[in-house]
Structure 1
Amino acid sequence: MRRKANEQRARVVAALDQLRHQIGLALGAARNARLAAELELAKLELEQLVVRAGIDRAGEDPRVAERAADPAMAGVLSWLDTVRRQFYAEWADGPNRLRELVAAGAPGPAGRPPSEWLGRVGTSRGVTAPELWRIGEASVDGASAGRTPGVELTFDVAVPLLDESHLSITSAPRTRPAIDALVESLLLRVLSTFEPGAVKVHLWDIGQLTTVLPNFYALSRTSALTVHDPTRLVDLLDELAGHIRRIHAHILQAGYPSLRAMRRATGKRVEPWRIAVLYGNGESLLPEQLRELKRIASGALAAGISLILVDVPTTLGGAVETISLVDERRAVSSMTGTDIVVRLDPPLPPGQVGTAAARIAEALVAKQGGPRSFDDLLPTELGREHSARELRAPVGFSEGEPVELVIGDATPHALIGGPSGSGKTNFLYALLGSLAARYSPDELALYVLDFKEGVSFAGLAPGRKDESWLPHARLVGVNVNTDREFGLALLRFLADELRRRSAAAKEHEVTHLAELREQDPEGHWPRIVAVIDEFQYLFAGRDAVTALATSLLEDIARRGRSQGIHLILASQDVAGIEAFWGKPAVFEQCTLRIAMPKARRVLADTNQAAVAAPRWHAVINHESGIAHGNQLAHIPDASAKGVFAGLQRRLWERYASSHGQPRLFDGAHAPVLTESPAFRELTPVARPKALLGQSIDVADIARGVELSGAPGRHVAVIGTAPREALSILDSAARSLARQFPPGRVDFVLSCLVDTCVPAVTELADWLAAEGHKAEVVSGADLPDRVGVLAEELPTAGRRRMLMLWGVDAVLPALERKAPGQQSGLDHLRTLLKQGPTNGLHVLGWWRGVARLKDTLGFAGTDDIGAWAALDVQGNDLSPFCAGQVVHWSPRPGRALFFDRSTHSSPEVIIPYHRPEPDDD
């Protein structure tokens, strides 16, 4: 046990000795390292003292002498002397080399004297940029270069800018004119190097209300120069950030790290350079503005954007060079170091600067070709494009280049806004023409609906003066501001088409239109574009139309993109659409936004581009209105007389033989019975239908009442409007006459309203001319004639139509009766109850709901199975509509129609136009 303990103790002592030895080594090494570090620090401090004093004068400095006396410092002075000799050997030709470097890096206007380029328009295509831009010159004493002391050696000073670096300029007291001259010289060197349009300049000055660099005024009238509101720095920062995001997305998608790399690889200038000059006042910007400015600076150079900051105290991200003014002529720059003073170039002559700016502006306008016409939007060959993937067409021009509008999966629907007179209709014509010229009617189907008063788009359908039509148009609706039901009908049609396409896509196991067209090449699947101008009228009331229209529009907007159904919604004042507040589904799907000048609430709330947009321009934005998606385009005149019509005639001559004319719905004109397809197709049938008017629908559909043997197969016209009442009964009689062979139906006509007698007489003559018996009964004879009809009812054996105008006027006479006998009113009620089963039908006009109820008596409303109400309020009609609430406010030229056998709720119809004797 003792021996084991001794052995263990010996091991512990040995370990401790080893630890003490290692610690000693470590402490010794640390001490040596510390001594070496202290020696190195002492040498560096001595070097610093020598450099500050100058090698030639170092021996006279007592601090240098004291430290140099240390033997350990003996090598410092000799080493510095060696470095000095080597530097002089290399710097002997330094000024000449600097001049050569600037000459090579700053060719042409970038570095040459103004006399060689000022006033001349640049010619560089803008694929590559000079590396340096001259700002002045500097001098050093010959002694510093191993030359003769006292002899100044001068060299040029230049700074990097485009694609290379940002520039920060700091002023000194009373140096604002010098800074303006410096900035003006740099900008004019840049603008004079490249061809017009290759560079865009943005100016912002916190201290100026209007003019910044007034010598550049001529450029401010072009896209080359934009002066920004001094109170809206956020707008400029948003615009720059938007350019950076858009350009980065474009170049990264193409596989390039920067715009410069893309230019060099492709040999093309795909984007202009942008220089943003920000004049501050020496005070810090707001924290959020500084953060955004730093974010912009870090990614700007790769996107071809350079910043020039004047008295904006901040530390930017990315490469930044500085210029700090000493006085009106001198500055120090990070390019030369603080020990060398730069003599800034003298200001350019103001008059020559103004002339040069004017020439550049004129050249830019000339390059852009001046105002472009509608013909410039059209392709050289019509109908060559395919719409399987998307629709793409130019709608205007920016700097002479076309600005395209794209409708597809990414931008499925468009929202267009602009106050009256802003050019919204002209833009729609430019869009429709550009699309129709590129895509055939088999590739594109158009449905155009205009709620405002007027006939802006009526010319798309054939008219009296022009027989041509736009073959792509399937429907043209104009003057529908009071016919919200027509807009609802269009949405129902689109919803039905969406279901049809979805079913076909499911059958072929595909999800998008392009895939469906590939799998079903024999199918007819054009892209559908529905244009609804002043679409807010759809939601003008708090009723069932608004609710259903909102639901349909949201569904079409959400699902239409995949099946090639696209909405273009236009409005003068989008802010007034209350139906969508809290229901953003439609607006979110309208990622394509077009804002006409002064438009509100179309673009994003922070995007004010439309406010400053000039006349005949539009802001095209494919990014849901975010500022970085803005493209300002000049829209050519497409709505002038003969402009669009010329294209339409060319398209009509090309496609009309294989594509029928569109359906024209004009809310300001009543349809004509004899022009109705339904009337023209009438032939004798067993169960005739009395046509009362036209349905407000996408298709030209006539609404009528089938006069079968079922109970209640009579028609009541209710209201005090004689013109509409005459029209409804007239069209009913004429349509019924065409459904019977001559002599197989009798018409008994009685007019109790004096002003309507001529119209009834004319109708009787027409019926007789058609070969039918038409008996006209006076008001005095009507009670007896009704009695005879009631007595003959079971044995007549013929179809008879009893037509009454103003039944309420004869009610007193009908109500009179002799003791023990039935009155004429009793006989009329018998005809209403038993007439249909015996081939007799009553078609009458009552001038009030109460009068109709008096006629029917206690039997209720079942004996009148169909009615058309004119100037009658909806709540008065509930008893004749199974007790349901009727939403109807009378409006001229319209009737509310209800047929108990076919309708679940009433619908609005348009009575046919009955020609008056004085009609042309």
Structure 2
Amino acid sequence: MASKSAEQRNRVQTALDRVRHQIGLVLGAAAGAREAAETEVSRLALEQEIVRVGMNQADAQQQTEWARHPAAHEVFASLGGVRSAFYTDWSAGPGALRDLVAAHAPGPAGRPPSEWLGRVGSNPGVTAPALWRAGSATAAGRDISRTFDVAVPLLDESHLAITSAPKTRPVVDALVQSLLMRVLSTFEPGAVKIHLWDVGQLTAILPDLYPLSRTSALSLYDPTRLEDLLDELAGHIRRIHATGMQAGHTSLRELRRATGQRLEPYRIAVLYGNGETLEPERARDLKRVASGALAAGICLILVDVPTTVSASVETLSLLDERRAISSMTGADLAVDLDPPLPSGQVIRAAGRIAEALIAKQGGPRSFADLMPAEPGLENSARELRAPVGFHEGEPVEVVIGDASPHALIGGPSGSGKTNFLYALLGSLAARYSPDELALYLLDFKEGVSFAGLAPGRKDASWLPHAKLVGVNVNTDREFGLALLRFLADELRRRSAAAKEHEVTNLADLREQDPAGHWPRIVAVIDEFQYLFAGRDQVTAQATQLLEDIARRGRSQGIHLVLASQDVAGIEAFWGKPAVFEQCTLRIAMPKARRVLAETNNAAVSAPKWHAVINHDSGVAHGNQLAHVPDASSRNVFVDLQHKLWERYAGRFARPRLFDGAHSPVLEQFPAYTELKPGARPKALLGQSIDVTEAACGVELPRAPGRNVAVLGGATAEALSIMDSAARSLARQYEPGAVEFLFSCPIEACAPAVLDLKDRLAAEGHSATLTDDLPAALTAMAGSLAGGPPRFLLLYGVDAALPTLEAKEIGQPKSALDHLRTLLKNGPGHGVHTLGWWRSIARLKDTLGFAGTDDIGTWAALDVQGNELTPFAAGQVVHWSPRPGRALFFDRTTHGAPEVIIPFQRPDADLAGGATP
């Protein structure tokens, strides 16, 4: 047993000895490797230091120190061999460099100025030279054979940082100006945009280039507003990445090569600093811009702007007024900068480029340039798309569809908002037929902006796409509400049809129901803030309807265009995000505020007759500046309207025109002309404020309470209502089949009443004007049964009350009692009273304790809403009197009173007052 244990111990000991031996070998090898590595590191450090200082530039002390190094002999031998080989081959070096620059800096990019300065470039901008000449350098002395061109990469290749030396600002300006002129002279006009910012100068930044400032090729920025330039560049980068690179390309250069087209101009932003570090926020913004700029076709030239950017940056550091150090050649070679370009030649060359750019863009564009070659050929199933202006000669389009369903337009008075609306409407109408586009146009301000789109006295034509035109409706907010109700009803109709066909949007509905009529609807509401002008039911209902249409209208092809000239119009949306956020299309006229995003101030500096078009909810990167041509001058839009009217003649109905400044004419109203003798007489009191041209009528069957009261002291309106009621009733009876009895104790109104009586008599009806109202009432109350239908028209009942209240001796009832009998029992026997009371209190006196049931219908004029509550089934009435309008309520048909417009009464001068 003991011998076995000893044997095991020996085996273990032997194994441990072997392990120790192997570990020793490994440690020895590691120590050797470490020593070799340390030796190599020391040798490389020596070699690096010699290269940095230079073999021939080191002083004696430095040479002695190097010689003490163990690897000195080996390093000097190696570097000496490299230097010998370099100088042996250098005879071809300058020529190779010159060939390299010539190949990558063709034409103005690398050639002498005499060959190109003053000539307009022709490169379309699909590809760009990789290098741009800045000067020359000579290696190993001043031997001209060893001189070569020095060029720097710009545009798609790299940014450029320039550091000045004392008193070298003119040299820096000459260098920058030379590079910019080389670029501008290489490409065709419009292919390059220059942005200039100088922290120390408001003007005089490269003044020789100022002829370009009258075009879009050159922009200057406020020295205190670097953020404006950086925001603009950042927005451009985001826009390029959001739109131009969706096909999978990583840069604008790749996209140009793939499409063979210059989709965007190159941009060079020159920033002049003062050597001081930028504010932290601006420095961060600049770094963000620089990192994404090259891929978006933006090149930065930074002069004395200390910053570190995560992007390709070449440097030029000036040594004095002639020489600089470039990162392209290294610190050992001084670059001799090219001499400045002659100032006069630069000014003339910039002027020629500016003139060529203006000529290329076609100069000022007209409304005719917005028109298509052939009208009415576009399809609106997916969207509406139409140019509204031009930028640098290219059309700028407005797109209305699922992505940008509703538009918000803002601009102060005189900014061109109305002109823009005409440009938009004209461009849309020219491209889409009335089968594809239906327009509903409403203008709340006092004016007739849209009136010409409907037929008028001087011009019988109309815009065939227009279905509704409302003007001068600043006091008729109810008409705006009526339009929203109509749109909500149409939205429900389309939604039901979409559900029936199992689709979710207009394009699919039109595909599944090709026989249906589903045009896209665009409702333009100018000065829309009037909808929210009061804290009442109109505002509440308008808000609810507008939010619903804004939210759901996009899928069914119903679009809102809301315009306002007052900032209050935009502020009306604050607190209504359901509407504001759906208006992703924003159009800001010059000086407009709060139309675009809060931080987007592009409209503040927009020139006159321009607009900022933004399809991205007002975010700055979506800005497109457009010059809007004149569309609203005399005969400009009219000519287009005539052409379209003739093209679609007879195919589409005339639009409904609602003009709040004019009272409707009864004889011209369809509801009146269509009346004919029938079983249920209907009195027309006025025009309903509605999308359709409807009249407000009161049916007068043989039923209790079917009497009509006109309330208030507004004489002209009261006479109008009484007149239209009587004439419309007379039209529904054969001559001799009805009797009219008039009473008018108001002397000023007598001529008007007499004229109406004579008109009815001339039509063959029995029409009598009584001078003894009590006797007439007594007779009528005693003979209710039998006889033809009778209408009692009482003018100024309150004026007759003292006479009616008096009782004759021996009579148990007064004439007032007989009037009450007629009001209570007359309608059931075909006797209806149409009375005008000038005050609510007098009407109550007339009715006595019988209550209000005998007055089933009333039209209130200059009466406050709170006085009408007893006659409106107890509900609170919101009504403030306004000229030319009445509040109408029929308890048998109305849930709430509605505003109506009394008809224009003929020969109104007989009334003792003007017709409204």
The TM-score normalised by the length of structure 2 is 0.97
Residue 493 of structure 1 aligns to a residue whose secondary structure is helix
- Measured in 2, the distance between the counterparts of 1:57 and 1:602 equals 66
Residue 210 of structure 2 aligns to a residue whose secondary structure is helix
| Change in 2 beyond 3 A, CA 1:72/1:260 | closer
Counterparts in 2 of 1:33-44, with a 5 A limit? 33-44=33-44
| Change in 2 beyond 3 A, CA 1:117/1:396 | same
| Change in 2 beyond 3 A, CA 1:54/1:801 | closer
Residue 253 of structure 1 aligns to a residue whose secondary structure is coil
**Which structure 2 residue ranges, 5 or more long, are not aligned?**
none
1:99 equivalent in alignment to 2:92: no
Match of 1:287 in 2: 280
1:824 equivalent in alignment to 2:823: no
Q: 1:695–1:910: 8 Å Cα contact kept in structure 2?
A: yes
Aligned counterpart for 2:778 among listed residues 749, 762, 787: 787
Aligned counterpart for 2:615 among listed residues 602, 622, 626: 622
Superposed displacement of residue 78, structure 1: 2.9
Which one-letter code corresponds to 2:527 in the other structure? E
Q: 1:546–1:579: 8 Å Cα contact kept in structure 2?
A: no
Q: Deviations over 1:247-299 (max 9, x none)?
A: 12223223322211121222211110011111112122222222221121111
Q: 1:49–1:64: 8 Å Cα contact kept in structure 2?
A: no
Superposed displacement of residue 19, structure 1: 3.5
Match of 1:78 in 2: 77
| Change in 2 beyond 3 A, CA 1:63/1:670 | closer
Aligned counterpart for 2:259 among listed residues 251, 260, 266: 266
Residue 402 of structure 1 aligns to a residue whose secondary structure is strand
Q: 2:245–2:255: 8 Å Cα contact kept in structure 1?
A: no
Residue 139 of structure 2 aligns to a residue whose secondary structure is strand
Match of 1:308 in 2: 301
Q: 1:539–1:577: 8 Å Cα contact kept in structure 2?
A: no
Superposed displacement of residue 49, structure 1: 5.3
Aligned counterpart for 1:656 among listed residues 649, 656, 664: 649
Match of 1:145 in 2: none
1:798 equivalent in alignment to 2:788: yes
Superposed displacement of residue 710, structure 1: 1.7
User: Which deviates more, 744-753 or 201-210?
Assistant: 201-210
Aligned counterpart for 1:863 among listed residues 854, 857, 861: 854
- Measured in 2, the distance between the counterparts of 1:169 and 1:363 equals 31
- Measured in 1, the distance between the counterparts of 2:507 and 2:95 equals 66
Counterparts in 2 of 1:239-638, with a 5 A limit? 239-577=232-570, 579-638=572-631
Aligned counterpart for 2:730 among listed residues 711, 731, 737: 737
| Change in 2 beyond 3 A, CA 1:116/1:255 | same
Q: Deviations over 1:437-477 (max 9, x none)?
A: 00000000000000000111101100111111001000000
Which one-letter code corresponds to 1:398 in the other structure? H
User: Which deviates more, 517-526 or 258-267?
Assistant: 258-267
Q: 1:163–1:301: 8 Å Cα contact kept in structure 2?
A: yes
Q: Deviations over 1:86-128 (max 9, x none)?
A: 2123322111211221122111111112222212211111111
Match of 1:119 in 2: 118
1:28 equivalent in alignment to 2:31: no
Q: 1:326–1:332: 8 Å Cα contact kept in structure 2?
A: yes
| Change in 2 beyond 3 A, CA 1:895/1:342 | same
1:174 equivalent in alignment to 2:164: no
- Measured in 2, the distance between the counterparts of 1:337 and 1:377 equals 55
Superposed displacement of residue 81, structure 1: 2.6
Match of 2:899 in 1: 908
Match of 1:134 in 2: 133
Q: 1:450–1:480: 8 Å Cα contact kept in structure 2?
A: yes
- Measured in 2, the distance between the counterparts of 1:56 and 1:486 equals 94
Q: 2:527–2:569: 8 Å Cα contact kept in structure 1?
A: no
| Change in 2 beyond 3 A, CA 1:577/1:393 | closer
Superposed displacement of residue 381, structure 1: 0.3
Match of 2:700 in 1: 707
Aligned counterpart for 1:851 among listed residues 842, 858, 875: 842
Match of 1:889 in 2: 880
| Change in 2 beyond 3 A, CA 1:300/1:67 | closer
Q: Deviations over 1:45-103 (max 9, x none)?
A: 44345446655688x95665676577765443332232122212332211121122112
Residue 877 of structure 1 aligns to a residue whose secondary structure is helix
| Change in 2 beyond 3 A, CA 1:280/1:5 | farther
1:696 equivalent in alignment to 2:705: no
Superposed displacement of residue 24, structure 1: 1.6
Q: 2:528–2:569: 8 Å Cα contact kept in structure 1?
A: no
- Measured in 2, the distance between the counterparts of 1:563 and 1:3 equals 102
Q: 1:594–1:621: 8 Å Cα contact kept in structure 2?
A: yes
Superposed displacement of residue 686, structure 1: 1.2
The TM-score normalised by the length of structure 1 is 0.96
Aligned counterpart for 1:233 among listed residues 226, 230, 237: 226
Q: 1:331–1:342: 8 Å Cα contact kept in structure 2?
A: yes
- Measured in 1, the distance between the counterparts of 2:421 and 2:52 equals 74
User: Which deviates more, 1-10 or 177-186?
Assistant: 1-10
**Which structure 1 residue ranges, 5 or more long, are not aligned?**
143-148
- Measured in 2, the distance between the counterparts of 1:897 and 1:36 equals 108
User: Which deviates more, 104-113 or 574-583?
Assistant: 574-583
Superposed displacement of residue 22, structure 1: 3.4
- Measured in 2, the distance between the counterparts of 1:307 and 1:52 equals 30
Aligned counterpart for 2:768 among listed residues 767, 775, 785: 775
User: Which deviates more, 239-248 or 202-211?
Assistant: 202-211
Work out the number of aligned pairs and report it: 910
Q: 2:570–2:595: 8 Å Cα contact kept in structure 1?
A: no
Which one-letter code corresponds to 1:459 in the other structure? G
Which one-letter code corresponds to 2:799 in the other structure? A
Residue 704 of structure 1 aligns to a residue whose secondary structure is strand
- Measured in 2, the distance between the counterparts of 1:15 and 1:841 equals 131
| Change in 2 beyond 3 A, CA 1:424/1:66 | closer
Q: 1:251–1:257: 8 Å Cα contact kept in structure 2?
A: no
- Measured in 2, the distance between the counterparts of 1:404 and 1:726 equals 53
Aligned counterpart for 1:813 among listed residues 794, 803, 807: 803
Residue 93 of structure 1 aligns to a residue whose secondary structure is helix
Aligned counterpart for 2:179 among listed residues 178, 186, 189: 186
- Measured in 2, the distance between the counterparts of 1:865 and 1:410 equals 51
Which one-letter code corresponds to 1:824 in the other structure? A
Match of 1:146 in 2: none
User: Which deviates more, 856-865 or 170-179?
Assistant: 170-179
Which one-letter code corresponds to 1:112 in the other structure? R
Q: CA RMSD in A?
A: 1.8
Which one-letter code corresponds to 1:915 in the other structure? P
Superposed displacement of residue 574, structure 1: 3.5
Superposed displacement of residue 580, structure 1: 2.9
Residue 624 of structure 2 aligns to a residue whose secondary structure is strand
Aligned counterpart for 2:741 among listed residues 748, 763, 767: 748
Superposed displacement of residue 2, structure 1: 4.5
| Change in 2 beyond 3 A, CA 1:470/1:65 | same
Residue 245 of structure 2 aligns to a residue whose secondary structure is helix
- Measured in 2, the distance between the counterparts of 1:871 and 1:404 equals 50
